């Protein structure tokens, strides 16, 4: 049996698991829609949690008890019930994009992005509200947290509206030519709706053929994007010129890496950057506390995580 828990501001799956004397693995079993992106939860949503009387203690966790009254609850002398009580109505499954969670959620995401832009000392002189809207829209389309994409854009281009290069990466999200090729080669890894269509039809080419024969066939946002440009070369040429498209591609790349990292944001950022070279300052290698060289992808992730945590802390305290 399971109960329901309404997510509060600042909650994570780990904190919810601890509160209910269970673990994240159990929560994901009870909420299969969260498995693709375990860290994508929002205030006000309801998720299934284990019933208190059916849980066994999980090593390393303690039970948090909130005392609501000094009065003792009277002893229940009734006979045990032999038939289970009707369960509560099922909670509507989470859709892939957080845009369905309401206007307030979008406002919260845009607020976080605005804070990140304002805090970036190297940010270019831009219309903050306009930039925050673009980043939030791209994040919601892919189904990731807007502040995650904002942290990437800060790292790659400091919110420049010019289509600048960042190493081999192009545009605000630093997209390399490898990305479009991988998206057309393994599209099912980037989007679950398109993955289902590919499974049904047999290949991406056959999905495109079905779309051509039936223009009303909905491929989802990601699938429609691939269908529009047809080839990786066309997509790469377009994302080097189209600011909004570049953001969308970056959002889907991060989403893919977040899935690979089982929801670990730090690892997802490292996978987004991938550069394994050591960080150097004034020609000397920078070392971590454990004595190993600090890699560029690790420094990238550290900066992104610090950016998000600072913004999230400001939102929680205002």
pLDDT higher than threshold 70 for residue 97: no
For residue 60, is it within any domain? no
Long-range contacts, 101-108 (Cβ 8 Å, 24+): 101/42, 101/44, 101/45, 102/44, 104/44, 105/42, 105/43, 105/44, 106/136, 106/140, 108/43, 108/315
Rg of the chain over all Cα atoms, to the nearest angstrom: 23
Q: Is the pLDDT of residue 127 over 60?
A: yes
> Average pLDDT over the chain, rounded to whole?
82
Per-residue confidence band for 34, with pLDDT thresholds at 50, 70 and 90: confident
- Does 123 or 134 have the greater pLDDT score? 134
Same domain? For 115 and 224 the reply is yes
Q: Where are the beta strands (DSSP E) in the chain?
A: 2-6, 46-50, 165-166, 169-170, 280-281, 284-285
The answer to the question of residue 72 being in a domain is no
Report the predicted TM-score, pTM, of the whole model to 2 decimal places: 0.67
pLDDT attached to residue 21 = 80
Residue 198 within a domain:
yes
State the average pLDDT over residues 302-315. 93
Q: Find residue 50's DSSP bridge partners.
A: 2
Tell which wins on pLDDT, 292 or 104: 292
Do residues 126 and 10 share a domain? no
pLDDT at 93: 37
For residue 63, being part of any structural domain is answered with no
**What per-residue confidence (pLDDT) applies to 1?**
54
The CATH number for 232's domain is: 1.10.530.10
Residues 102, 27, single domain; the answer is no
- Between 139 and 47, the more confident residue is 139
Is the domain of 265 the same as that of 117? yes
Q: 143 and 13: one domain?
A: no
- DSSP annotation of 295 reads B
* 116 and 49 fall within a common domain: no
Supply the CATH number for residue 32's domain: 3.10.350.10
Residue whose tokens read 């980037």? 190
- Ranking 30-44, 84-98, 190-204 by mean pLDDT, the lowest is 84-98
Q: What is the pLDDT of residue 111?
A: 93
Counted domains in the chain: 2
Whether 118 is covered by a domain: the verdict is yes
pLDDT in tens, 225-240: 999 999 999 999 999 9
Helix, strand, coil fractions of the chain, as percent rounded to 5: 50, 5, 40
Asked, for residue 224, whether it belongs to a domain, the answer is yes
- Asked if the structure places residue 88 within a domain, the reply is no
Q: Which domain holds residue 50?
A: 2-54
Residue 16: predicted pLDDT? 84
Q: List, in order, residues 6 or more apart from 179 with CB less than 8 Å away.
A: 236, 249, 253
Q: In this structure, is residue 300 part of a structural domain?
A: yes
240 with 306, same domain? yes
The region of weakest confidence among 38-47, 126-135, 280-289 is 38-47
In this structure, what token pair is assigned to residue 201? Answer: 């039809």
């Amino acid at each position: 049996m399971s109960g329901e828990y309404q997510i509060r501001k600042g909650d994570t799956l780990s904190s919810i698991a601890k509160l209910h004397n269970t673990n994240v693995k159990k929560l994901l079993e009870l909420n299969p829609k969260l498995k693709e992106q375990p860290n994508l939860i929002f205030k006000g949503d309801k998720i299934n949690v284990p019933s208190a009387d059916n849980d066994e203690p999980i090593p390393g966790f303690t039970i948090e008890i909130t005392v609501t009254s000094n009065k003792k609850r009277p002893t229940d002398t009734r006979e045990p019930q032999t038939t289970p009580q009707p369960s509560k109505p099922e909670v509507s499954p989470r859709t892939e994009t957080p845009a369905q969670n309401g206007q307030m959620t979008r406002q919260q995401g845009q607020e976080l992005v605005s804070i990140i832009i304002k805090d970036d000392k190297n940010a270019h002189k831009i219309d903050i509200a306009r930039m925050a809207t673009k980043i939030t829209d791209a994040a919601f389309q892919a189904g990731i947290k807007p502040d995650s994409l904002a942290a990437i854009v800060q790292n790659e281009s400091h919110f420049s509206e010019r289509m600048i290069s960042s190493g081999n990466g192009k545009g605000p999200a630093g997209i390399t030519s490898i990305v479009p090729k991988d998206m057309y080669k393994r599209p099912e890894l980037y989007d679950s709706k398109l993955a289902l269509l590919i499974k049904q039809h047999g290949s991406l080419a056959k999905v495109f053929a079905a779309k051509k024969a039936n223009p009303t066939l909905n491929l989802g946002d990601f699938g429609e994007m691939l269908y529009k440009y047809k080839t990786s070369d066309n997509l790469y040429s377009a994302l080097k010129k189209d600011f909004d498209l570049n953001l969308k591609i970056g959002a889907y790349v991060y989403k893919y890496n977040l899935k690979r990292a089982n929801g670990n944001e730090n690892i997802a950022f490292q996978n987004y950057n991938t550069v394994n070279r050591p960080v150097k300052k004034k020609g000397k290698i920078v070392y971590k506390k454990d004595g190993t060289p600090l890699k560029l992808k690790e420094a990238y992730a550290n900066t992104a995580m610090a950016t998000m945590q600072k913004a999230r802390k400001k939102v929680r305290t205002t």
